[in-house]
């Protein structure tokens, strides 16, 4: 009986148009469940403005339409996908949700339709549909914004094994934006996603072990997690991994590996890595001295407002020939950071310093 009731609610949601849906629709799907009671919050603790952007969806794999020959000849690809979606094909629903969100695959941007099709997939307990619908609720795309409902949908998807949803929920819980702040529970969701090899979650869990905040300090547990996230291309992980190699934490001390990871992070625009690499190369105590490259690093950091960077650059200039200074300045001028796909995703979705949430956790 409950299943029929929920279906009727869902039909009413769609019939009353996407903008009216959030008041009486999908939230009802999870009311009364332990999961909803743990994360749903409509109290004053919920902030009005989202601090994250979860709208970075992966394009669904388009499968061949399973229509009869007459339909395939008569209908356009978009019409074929729509027919399948309306008949309950989850893959078609996900594809239409994506297509209307980004204006691809023959569809024009239509947030209401995007919401509609992701909602249809969510009604079938599809974890991707639930996660993406939660993202629309969080950002107020095609529906009135509700971070509390987003949290409920993320939790439902996470409990179905969706690692991205677990990460999304983890950031909501660790920040208190959309649910009552619960850093300990956030780490449980990061751990769940890390077990599925999600690099964002691996870094968050690894960094917690590294700092000893929200998890007991354990460098041996931190090491493989942070190393995996660094190998996946995340600049904050590369910088942190370098610090572990410099200090011999979780790994034997290895300045060669430290410099290697600092250079990778610098290539992505990490200011911290610029300063750390500049310091190592300027001193030349644990790694081959390179005043020229150190000057480039301090010059780049100075432009980005790092205190002390300009002074260190000036000290190096006293040891350099004018031609070397001019060449180093030209190289700094040519510098063009190229963040990896993962670094871009994390910056755009969760912020430019995700370590902050663990560093400041109580």
Domains 2-156 and 205-349 alike in fold: yes
pLDDT in tens for each of the 362 residues of the chain? 333 233 333 333 333 333 333 433 444 443 433 344 344 333 333 344 556 778 777 778 655 556 565 566 678 889 999 999 999 999 999 999 999 999 998 999 999 999 999 999 999 999 999 999 999 999 999 999 998 999 999 999 999 999 999 999 999 999 988 788 999 999 999 999 999 999 999 999 999 999 999 999 999 999 999 999 999 999 999 999 999 999 999 999 999 999 999 999 999 999 999 999 999 999 999 999 999 999 999 999 999 999 999 999 999 999 999 999 999 999 999 999 999 999 999 999 999 999 999 999 87
List Cβ neighbours of 217 (8 Å cut-off, separation of 6 or more): 209, 210, 211
Torsions phi, psi for 31 (to 5 deg): -65, 140
List Cβ neighbours of 209 (8 Å cut-off, separation of 6 or more): 215, 216, 217, 218, 219, 221, 222, 225
For residue 68, the model assigns a pLDDT of 61
The owner of tokens 């403005």 is 49
List Cβ neighbours of 107 (8 Å cut-off, separation of 6 or more): 78, 96, 99, 100, 113
CB neighbours of residue 160 within 10 Å: 15
CB neighbours of residue 205 within 10 Å: 29
Angle at 165 between CA 5 and CA 123, to 5 degrees: 20
- SS3 of 271, please? helix
Give the class (CATH, top level) of 2-156.
mainly alpha
For residue 155, the model assigns a pLDDT of 96
CATH of span 205-349: 1.25.40.10
Q: Tokens in use for 231?
A: 């190998």
Separation of alpha carbons 256 and 273, rounded Å? 14
Which secondary-structure segment (H or E) carries 220? Answer: helix 219-231
Separation of alpha carbons 99 and 115, rounded Å? 11
CB neighbours of residue 31 within 10 Å: 11
Separation of alpha carbons 282 and 231, rounded Å? 27
Separation of alpha carbons 286 and 254, rounded Å? 9
For residue 60, the model assigns a pLDDT of 80
Q: Tokens in use for 242?
A: 């370098």
CA distances in angstroms from 164 to 59, 87, 243, listed in the order given = 14, 27, 28
Q: Tokens in use for 163?
A: 């690692």
Q: How far is CA 115 from the centre of its chain?
A: 21
Separation of alpha carbons 50 and 196, rounded Å? 27
For residue 66, the model assigns a pLDDT of 63
For residue 75, the model assigns a pLDDT of 85
Separation of alpha carbons 260 and 276, rounded Å? 12
For residue 65, the model assigns a pLDDT of 54
The owner of tokens 């700092």 is 211
Burial (CB count within 10 angstroms: exposed 0-12, middle 13-18, buried 19+), residue 52: buried
User: Domain extents for the chain?
Assistant: 2-156, 205-349
Q: Tokens in use for 144?
A: 């009135």
Q: Are 234 and 267 in contact (CB under 8 A)?
A: no
As a whole number of Å, the CA-based R_g of the chain is 25
Q: Are 79 and 85 in contact (CB under 8 A)?
A: no
* Start-to-end C-alpha separation, the chain: 44
Find the Cα–Cα–Cα–Cα dihedral 282, 283, 285, 290, rounded to 10°: 20
For residue 27, the model assigns a pLDDT of 45
Q: What is the pTM of this model?
A: 0.83
User: What's the DSSP call for residue 87?
Assistant: T
């Amino acid at each position: 009986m409950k299943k029929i009731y929920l279906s009727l609610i869902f039909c009413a949601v769609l019939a009353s148009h996407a903008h009216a849906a959030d008041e009486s629709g999908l939230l009802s799907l999870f009311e009364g469940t332990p999961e909803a009671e743990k994360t749903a919050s409509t109290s004053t603790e919920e902030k009005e403005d989202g601090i994250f952007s979860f709208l970075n969806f992966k394009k669904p794999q388009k499968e061949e339409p399973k229509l009869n020959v007459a339909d395939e000849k008569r209908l356009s690809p978009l019409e074929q996908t729509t027919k399948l979606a309306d008949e309950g094909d989850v893959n078609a629903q996900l594809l239409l949700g994506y297509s209307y969100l980004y204006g691809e695959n023959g569809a024009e941007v239509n947030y209401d339709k995007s919401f509609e099709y992701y909602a249809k997939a969510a009604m079938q307990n599809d974890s991707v549909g639930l996660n993406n619908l939660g993202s629309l609720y969080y950002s107020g795309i095609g529906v009135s914004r509700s971070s509390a409902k987003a949290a409920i949908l993320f939790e439902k998807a996470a409990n179905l094994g969706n690692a991205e949803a677990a990460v999304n929920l983890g950031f909501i819980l660790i920040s208190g934006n959309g649910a009552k702040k619960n850093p300990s529970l956030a780490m449980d969701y990061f751990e769940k996603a890390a077990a599925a090899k999600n690099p964002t979650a691996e870094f968050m869990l690894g960094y917690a072990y590294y700092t000893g905040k929200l998890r007991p300090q354990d460098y041996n547990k931190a090491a493989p997690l942070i190393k995996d996230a660094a190998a996946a291309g995340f600049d904050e992980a590369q910088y942190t991994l370098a610090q572990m190699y410099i200090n011999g934490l979780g790994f034997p001390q290895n300045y060669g590996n430290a410099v290697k990871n600092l250079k990778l992070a610098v290539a992505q625009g990490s200011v911290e890595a610029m300063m750390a690499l500049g310091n190592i190369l300027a001193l030349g105590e644990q790694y081959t001295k390179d005043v020229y490259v150190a000057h480039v690093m301090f010059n780049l950091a100075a432009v980005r407002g790092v205190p002390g960077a300009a002074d260190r650059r000036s000290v190096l200039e006293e040891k350099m020939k004018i031609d070397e200074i001019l060449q180093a300045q030209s190289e700094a001028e040519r510098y063009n950071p190229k963040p990896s796909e993962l670094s871009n995703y994390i910056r755009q979705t969760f912020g430019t310093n995700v370590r902050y949430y663990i560093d400041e956790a109580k």
